[in-house]
Structure 1
Amino acid sequence: MTATVHSPLPTDCPLPGWLKTCVLTHHGDHPDEPSADVDDKSNSSLVCRAFEFAHELHQGQYRASGEPYICHPIAVAGLLRDLGGDSAMIASGFLHDIVEDTDITPEEIEAEFGNEVRQLVEGVTKLSKFNFESKTERQAENFRRMFLAMAQDIRVIVVKLADRLHNMRTLEHLNDDKRRRIARETMEIFAPLANRLGIGRFKWELEDLSFKYLEPHAYRQMQKHITEKRADREARLVQVAETLRDRMHQADIQVVDVSSRPKHLYGIYRKMERQRKDFTEIYDIAAIRLIVGTNEECYRALAIAHDAFRPIPGRFKDYIGLPKPNRYQSLHTVVIGPKGKPIEVQIRTLEMHHIAEYGIAAHWKYKETGASSNARMTADDEKFTWLRQLLEWQNDLKDAQEFLENVKGNLFDEDVYVFTPDGDVMPLSRRATPVDFAYRIHTEVGNHCSGARVNGRIVTLDTHLENGDIVEILTQKNSHPSLDWLNFVVTPSARNRIRQWYKRSHRDENIARGRELLEKELGRNGFEALLKSEPAQMAAERCNYQTVDDLLAGLGYGEVTLSLFVNRLRDAVKAQQPLEPVSPEASLDSSDQFLAGAVTSSHKAQRQVTSKAPILGVEGLMYHIAGCCNPLPGEPIMGSVSMGSRGIAIHRQGCPNLEGVPGDRIIPVSWNPNELNSSRQTYPVEVRIEVIDRVGVLKDILSHLSDLQINVHKAQVKTFPGQTAEIDLGLDVKDHDHLDQTFSQIRKMTDVLNIRRMSEGG
């Protein structure tokens, strides 16, 4: 589809000068001023065609403010142009709402503007559908998809940030509930993302606009405080700026610019809250920014600033030697200015200033390389270390709640920078310990860590590392992780690898135990062949395990019962039997006999079920579910005539309490499938969960069970110093499949080491 406008300059929405020039040039007119947007005519054509396409399709659409809808795409494209975005980014700014708000398809966008623009528009459209206020698991999935989209092309999130910024600028036209919801999402998600991408001008405005709607009273108070003493403050800043400019000139230092910069309102408010101070106690609410020619001149300028004004001890930060994760570089110092008032001085080069303002977009705006050649995250691109870390966590952290907590913590928290003994810089989360450092180097270094030296001194493994620490990890071959480490490590990768080691370290012995149990049940002859057979693999998968070895380990853990595996194996054999009939004349070893017997039993004629009782075989008789094994629908059962007055006890097949019961008191019974399918009855079952002991683990498990609509009628926790904890729960479930699904979900939680039924009965 090709859309055109009838007039080169539409009048329904005011056009900025750069866009007027672009449109007139595109239509062959001669504008008064040359285009400052793009040099290549084909690029200029792409931008103008995208504008005209969007203008035509958004005709008749209006925003909540009443202005024509096209004003929003024009503003978004303008923000991207100011960031130095290439023609594909600017075009996607015009088109970012097309797929969602019109009948245009991604295929039509590709036909008209090419694959690159289509990918950007599709990426932004998908991000627009994410709901970051939904329930935990959906929210975590949205984060995962967003980070994958960012990894494929970082420009997608930059376009989305421009879209969000303009929406925040016009938020007053929405109702109060919607304003607060969007402002909260902006403050929690998009402002931190702008900060991580280093786009300071976006980050500051997004925070202030969110602050305005989330804390309106505090916002107005901050505005009032800033306005009241502006004249005195600006006079002091001018005096300091003139002094620094003169001193730099005397020292023959090239000064590109000296200016004052007021801190944004939310930044001052956060500082007051964090330090618990009144506004009158916050002195550095504005800073002098000194831009010089080279890195060397930055350090010379710092010395001159400290000579001209007395520095405040402990208030100097060198972000040139140790840049922030978002590539921000500058020297920060606080000095005593006129009238004894502290003033912050920031010293940087022009390139550092561009990076501070534009972040990841700085190399699009101020370097010759285009966005398309730099947008994709590469393995050796240190600018995206934090994003690679988030992508790694997607594999490490299966629990949605823990993933969300660590993602939000990583977006907000600043990193600390420590050094290896060889001088390599290693960024870590704040409050990281030597154990976090060890696992960051390599999993095996962490698994065999026995101690650490920090700055040449032996320290405990729970020591919090500080900026500039030199860390050396001591290892021993026989050392292994301790459960106590989970009480102080802060990085998800370290925590996950400790848990993995504990599960894996007991795997071999549990596989051996599972083999022993199964071999005892089925016999030795042909046992190995049975384990390698296709029915065994099918049975393992039906028990929610990937391999037979995983299933054997589950048998050893107690995660799965022997009777369940035998039943699943019987079902697998039954499914294959028509294809591979068992010959009666064949010589059968014990495993073949078992399989043949399984098939034979599965082919027994079933009588027509007409009873409405939940259990067949006890119609008209008094019966009860045996509390020793708590059988569930879907499991083989037997009836036992009780000696007292309680009638018939319904046990699971294989229950130890049936072993001494005479045969004449055993009654064949079965579940009534017709009645069970229509019944909403639940059955009690008791389970034991072995977990890594930490605060809140029971709450997390109960939350998962609540999401699965499982009622918990009993809960008991047993803790043991320095060891794992045991949680005994009484659950109400519908049938055995329901219990299997519950076990599968609980096993996915990272703190769970083992889960099994109590009173297994076979």
Structure 2
Amino acid sequence: MLRQVELVERVLSYDPHADEDLLNRAYVFTIKTHGSQMRASGDPYFSHPIEVAGILTELKLDTASIVTALLHDTIEDTVATKEEIEQNFGSEIAVLVDGVTKLSQLEVQSDRTKQAENFSKLLLAMSNDIRVLLVKLADRLHNMRTLKHIKKPEKRRRIATETMEIYAPLAERIGIQSFRDELEDLAFVELNNEARRSILRRLEYLREEGEDVVAKIVTTLKEDLNESGLQVEVSGREKRPYSIWRKMEQKNVTFEQLSDIIAFRIIVANVEQCYHVLGILHAKYSMVPGRFKDYISTPKRNNYQSIHTTIIGPERQRIEVQIRTREMHETNEFGVAAHWQYKQQIGGKVQEGQQYRWLRELLEILEEASDPDEFLEHTKLNMYQDQVFCFSPKGDLISLPAGSSPVDFAYAVHTKVGDTCVGSKINGRLAPLRTVLKNGDQVEILRSKNQTPSPTWENFVVSGKARSAIRRYIRQQQRDQYVELGKSIAEKAFRTDGKPFTEKALTPVLKIWDLDSVEDVYYSLGDGTHTGRQLLDIIFPGEKSKGVDDNVVPIGKSRNQQKRNKEHAVPIHGLIPGMAVHFAGCCHPLPGDRIVGIVMSGRGVTIHTIDCDTLEQFAEMPERWLDVSWDTELQESNFQIGRITIVMANEPGALSSVTSTIAANNGNITNLLISNRSQDFFEMRVDIEVRDVKHLTNIIAALRADPVISSVERASG
């Protein structure tokens, strides 16, 4: 443990103007407040914040950061309060300490939810001051160094998993590679120690066999570059065990097939020399195709800059070479902390976090997520993926997670661009929205004011920002439909009972169902949590249903329906599948069919044909049945899926004849499944987009006239 004098001397060594008195008071305060508290290792608890402060001195951080590290656990684990911190050390440090403090008093349902809540608070705090994250990372690093002292294996594993999934990627995102590498390796010890030991044994063997080879390669590279008049630094760096393991998994290769177990780093004076060195190496040694990356012209999201190339170098060894300037090297190793002294000299409040686009995206995800678990899921998607670089038509560089689609690109540009995306051009050619983007692609997003996010996009987007925006839109649309449907159910229930409907009559329901507004009552009815009968039983206790016949809740107006029911229509036009009202996949109801709705708890209403076999399951639940009707005026522009079964001759051209007949009758095949095949006949199921029952009937009649077809029937299940 660092002594008080040693800690102060460390800070003064890189910041002669540091406030010694403030550092000394914070050191004494943390010892007094933590008092006799002990850690799992048996050490005094105050040794932990002191060691965290020591870690931050290696990054040469300012006095406020060091003091925050000393005090970071006082609010959570001692009787000290934020007000007391502010009174003794100032408002700036009080805000920083509070940002690092966990929500320890928050009542949560699970460890995962607690983790998400704490992380969301950390995110909000570090968005205003990135030093919160630096202290938190140093705190986690020291906790991981002492993880072995925790007795419960499941707790050690949970902490290691959290470190691997959240804190190591965060360290990478702000460019502190030393923190990331050590955090990953310490977590690797707990999560897969057997694999780690295996890699260490192989590395030890390589050291014994190739120690002279590494030295020879370093010497040869330096001589080659000195001959060209360049003064450079050359060194060989062995990769960490977890980094090696991850590459073996990602590339599905063996240890022996990796070419970059030892990376050779060349540091030069300026950017021009970086490319000069690259030219010399490629001229003298054979380059390995597909292994060149220029992160100087296209930096990573954390501002990492370097040229990476793999060559068949000296000693005929396949080696990776990294070329960078000294300034790039400092930034790559220490990220935001590398610039700290310059920022302190400039003066003013540090707003480093505002410069990170990924941080702003995480804040947007926090605003859009419906619950902590969802936020945590999208955050990990956004942080923990390799990246691909694409360009806008204007030449702007957009960095995305690997596997991204044009929809991910659109949301990376702006949420509104994503919401109104209808198509894309990749390198000037029209491409499907689910196309996987590649490095260097130029992407143009085609937009329409009438477009809205599609739920199907969630099946292929990979960025957290895109997924959270799509889910937010779906949640809002689903709520609107549930409310609209619920209002119709309430009105139908009142009409059935012969009562006049007013929203004021719903007031008694709020307290009994523990709801805040009439809209919540409608939502509860619409999603099937409660029924119209339950609503009436509360408002008119003791009364029996009068059974009035006017009980249709119209999904739209039928041709014979009177105009007085027009205001009760809930149109299915523009319906998004899986929301308040959706069509059963068992019977595929079409406009013109006699239909009935089944209210499913938490799912809204499912529409079935009146003769669907599935309805037998609900014979004993009349409260779940809902009379519905079609909106025929909207069917001209709407298409629904009709399903038919066909038995046809097994002969050349038969399938072509079927598809041509369907197309000639303005039907669009969406799915085709051959369910049975014999020497003479095919039996298959075909899903067709049609306007209504009459449209499907015309297609069936046309198919029956075809001589290659033995039979055609509409599928009933």
Question: Same fold per TM (> 0.5)?
Answer: yes
**1:323 — aligned with what?**
299
Is residue 466 from structure 1 mapped to residue 445 from structure 2 by the alignment? no
Alignment partners' CA distance in 2, 1:130 and 1:270: 36
**2:462 — aligned with what?**
490
Asked if the contact 1:543–1:565 (Cα under 8 Å) also holds between the matched residues in 2, the reply is no
Asked if the contact 1:354–1:362 (Cα under 8 Å) also holds between the matched residues in 2, the reply is yes
Question: Tell me, what secondary structure is at the counterpart of 2:281?
Answer: helix
Report how far residue 205 of structure 1 moved: 0.8
Q: Which runs of 5+ in 1 are unaligned?
A: 1-12, 24-34, 571-634, 640-652, 660-689, 695-715, 732-741, 745-755
Given candidates 387, 393, 404, the residue that maps to 1:415 is 387
Asked if the contact 2:494–2:501 (Cα under 8 Å) also holds between the matched residues in 1, the reply is no
Which range is displaced more, 188-197 or 436-445?
436-445
Question: Tell me, what secondary structure is at the counterpart of 2:101?
Answer: helix
Asked if the contact 1:131–1:139 (Cα under 8 Å) also holds between the matched residues in 2, the reply is no
Report how far residue 719 of structure 1 moved: 7.0
Given candidates 193, 200, 204, the residue that maps to 2:170 is 193
Letter in 2 for 1:272: M
Report how far residue 721 of structure 1 moved: 9.4
Asked if the contact 2:99–2:121 (Cα under 8 Å) also holds between the matched residues in 1, the reply is no
Report how far residue 232 of structure 1 moved: 4.2
**2:648 — aligned with what?**
none
Is residue 273 from structure 1 mapped to residue 249 from structure 2 by the alignment? yes
Asked if the contact 2:331–2:338 (Cα under 8 Å) also holds between the matched residues in 1, the reply is yes
Report how far residue 507 of structure 1 moved: 9.1
Asked if the contact 1:120–1:156 (Cα under 8 Å) also holds between the matched residues in 2, the reply is yes
Alignment partners' CA distance in 1, 2:543 and 2:109: 49
**1:209 — aligned with what?**
186
Given candidates 357, 371, 374, the residue that maps to 2:333 is 357
**1:52 — aligned with what?**
28
**2:707 — aligned with what?**
none
Letter in 1 for 2:16: D
**2:127 — aligned with what?**
151
Alignment partners' CA distance in 2, 1:218 and 1:166: 23
Asked if the contact 1:312–1:335 (Cα under 8 Å) also holds between the matched residues in 2, the reply is yes
Identity of aligned residues (%): 41
**1:112 — aligned with what?**
88
Letter in 2 for 1:15: R
Q: 1:548 to 1:418 in 2, by over 3 A?
A: farther
Question: Tell me, what secondary structure is at the counterpart of 1:104?
Answer: coil
Alignment partners' CA distance in 2, 1:490 and 1:728: 35
Which range is displaced more, 551-560 or 65-74?
551-560
Alignment partners' CA distance in 1, 2:511 and 2:326: 61
Is residue 373 from structure 1 mapped to residue 349 from structure 2 by the alignment? yes
Is residue 229 from structure 1 mapped to residue 206 from structure 2 by the alignment? yes
Which range is displaced more, 512-521 or 102-111?
512-521
Asked if the contact 1:291–1:349 (Cα under 8 Å) also holds between the matched residues in 2, the reply is yes
Given candidates 140, 165, 171, the residue that maps to 2:147 is 171
1:60-109 per-residue CA deviation (whole Å, 9 max, x = no partner) reads 45444344444333321111111121101111222223334433333222
RMSD: 4.4
Report how far residue 351 of structure 1 moved: 1.7
Alignment partners' CA distance in 1, 2:380 and 2:53: 29
Alignment partners' CA distance in 2, 1:502 and 1:170: 45
Q: 1:135 to 1:202 in 2, by over 3 A?
A: closer
Question: Tell me, what secondary structure is at the counterpart of 2:353?
Answer: coil
Alignment partners' CA distance in 2, 1:241 and 1:452: 48
Correspondence list, 1:657-668, <5 A = none
Is residue 259 from structure 1 mapped to residue 247 from structure 2 by the alignment? no
**1:336 — aligned with what?**
312
**1:72 — aligned with what?**
48
Report how far residue 505 of structure 1 moved: 7.3
Alignment partners' CA distance in 2, 1:267 and 1:132: 35
Letter in 2 for 1:414: D
Alignment partners' CA distance in 2, 1:131 and 1:539: 28
Report how far residue 334 of structure 1 moved: 1.0
Asked if the contact 1:454–1:471 (Cα under 8 Å) also holds between the matched residues in 2, the reply is yes
Alignment partners' CA distance in 2, 1:519 and 1:326: 56
Letter in 1 for 2:97: V
Question: Tell me, what secondary structure is at the counterpart of 2:301?
Answer: coil
Question: Tell me, what secondary structure is at the counterpart of 2:13?
Answer: coil
Asked if the contact 2:390–2:397 (Cα under 8 Å) also holds between the matched residues in 1, the reply is yes
Letter in 1 for 2:7: L
Letter in 1 for 2:247: K
Report how far residue 443 of structure 1 moved: 5.0
**1:243 — aligned with what?**
220
Letter in 2 for 1:758: R
Q: 1:128 to 1:554 in 2, by over 3 A?
A: closer
Letter in 2 for 1:263: K
Asked if the contact 2:120–2:366 (Cα under 8 Å) also holds between the matched residues in 1, the reply is yes
**2:278 — aligned with what?**
302
Asked if the contact 2:2–2:54 (Cα under 8 Å) also holds between the matched residues in 1, the reply is no
**1:3 — aligned with what?**
none
Alignment partners' CA distance in 2, 1:720 and 1:18: 78
Asked if the contact 1:486–1:495 (Cα under 8 Å) also holds between the matched residues in 2, the reply is yes
Alignment partners' CA distance in 2, 1:216 and 1:75: 26
Report how far residue 362 of structure 1 moved: 1.8
Alignment partners' CA distance in 2, 1:395 and 1:565: 34
Asked if the contact 1:18–1:37 (Cα under 8 Å) also holds between the matched residues in 2, the reply is no
**2:427 — aligned with what?**
455
Alignment partners' CA distance in 1, 2:173 and 2:240: 17
Alignment partners' CA distance in 1, 2:169 and 2:459: 27
Alignment partners' CA distance in 2, 1:362 and 1:133: 40
Asked if the contact 1:558–1:757 (Cα under 8 Å) also holds between the matched residues in 2, the reply is no
Given candidates 288, 295, 302, the residue that maps to 1:312 is 288
Given candidates 87, 106, 110, the residue that maps to 2:63 is 87
Asked if the contact 1:397–1:492 (Cα under 8 Å) also holds between the matched residues in 2, the reply is no
Report how far residue 478 of structure 1 moved: 5.8
Alignment partners' CA distance in 2, 1:465 and 1:691: 27
TM-score by length of 1: 0.65
Asked if the contact 1:132–1:139 (Cα under 8 Å) also holds between the matched residues in 2, the reply is no
**1:15 — aligned with what?**
3
Alignment partners' CA distance in 2, 1:415 and 1:138: 29
**1:759 — aligned with what?**
625
Alignment partners' CA distance in 2, 1:317 and 1:203: 21
Alignment partners' CA distance in 2, 1:720 and 1:400: 38
Alignment partners' CA distance in 1, 2:111 and 2:409: 33
Alignment partners' CA distance in 2, 1:269 and 1:429: 21
Question: Tell me, what secondary structure is at the counterpart of 2:308?
Answer: strand
Q: 1:717 to 1:386 in 2, by over 3 A?
A: farther
1:280-325 per-residue CA deviation (whole Å, 9 max, x = no partner) reads 2223211111111222222222112222322111001111122212
Q: Which runs of 5+ in 2 are unaligned?
A: 552-574, 591-595, 605-621, 629-717
Asked if the contact 1:435–1:449 (Cα under 8 Å) also holds between the matched residues in 2, the reply is yes
Is residue 434 from structure 1 mapped to residue 422 from structure 2 by the alignment? no
Q: 1:188 to 1:757 in 2, by over 3 A?
A: farther
**1:389 — aligned with what?**
361
Number of matched residues? 576
Given candidates 264, 283, 286, the residue that maps to 1:288 is 264
Alignment partners' CA distance in 2, 1:321 and 1:720: 57
Q: 1:280 to 1:395 in 2, by over 3 A?
A: same
Report how far residue 368 of structure 1 moved: 4.3
Asked if the contact 1:656–1:761 (Cα under 8 Å) also holds between the matched residues in 2, the reply is no
